[in-house]
Amino acid sequence: MYPTIKTIHYTIMIFVLVMLLYTVARTFVLKMNKKPFSSVEEKLTLISLILVHTQVLVGIVLYVTGPWTGMFSNMGEVMKDSYSRMIVIEHPLTMLIAAVLVTIGRSKLKRITESDKKIKNVLIFFGIALLLIIIRIPWQYING
């Protein structure tokens, strides 16, 4: 079961990265061209939110069913090993922060009425979330 969930987690990661990158890039182009925030961007942010939340749920299942569950009893050893620290602490915590940023950004977006403020909101919250996700994906361990 663990390898299947890991594959699902990896596959959703690709969709999350593509969707967030597209959403942020499209919003940036709107800002540069001084165009209004439209229903297309609203839908893109919603799809991004759904994908990020789905990824977090799959990640939690992976986290509790994987080999890392028993590591909490020996946190001293986890903190000494960079791979264990990345998988047990850094990656999950950073991804949760990114998911919270996407959630806050989407929630604030629904209350904002001015197009410029909507664009700024997406660029800040979704952009920072995308950056956090990119820097904390364990790229060097992705195949292992």
Using one digit for the tens of pLDDT, what is the confidence trace for 19-33? 999 999 999 999 999
Q: Which of 114, 125, 120, 131 is nearest to 32 (CA)?
A: 120
User: What is residue 30's predicted lDDT score, i.e. its pLDDT?
Assistant: 95
Question: What's the domain count of the chain?
Answer: 1
pLDDT at 24: 97
pTM of the entire predicted model: 0.90
The residue ranges of the chain whose pLDDT is under 70 are 141, 143-144
For residue 42, what are the domain limits? 2-141
Contact indicator for 62, 9 with CB cutoff of 8 Å: yes
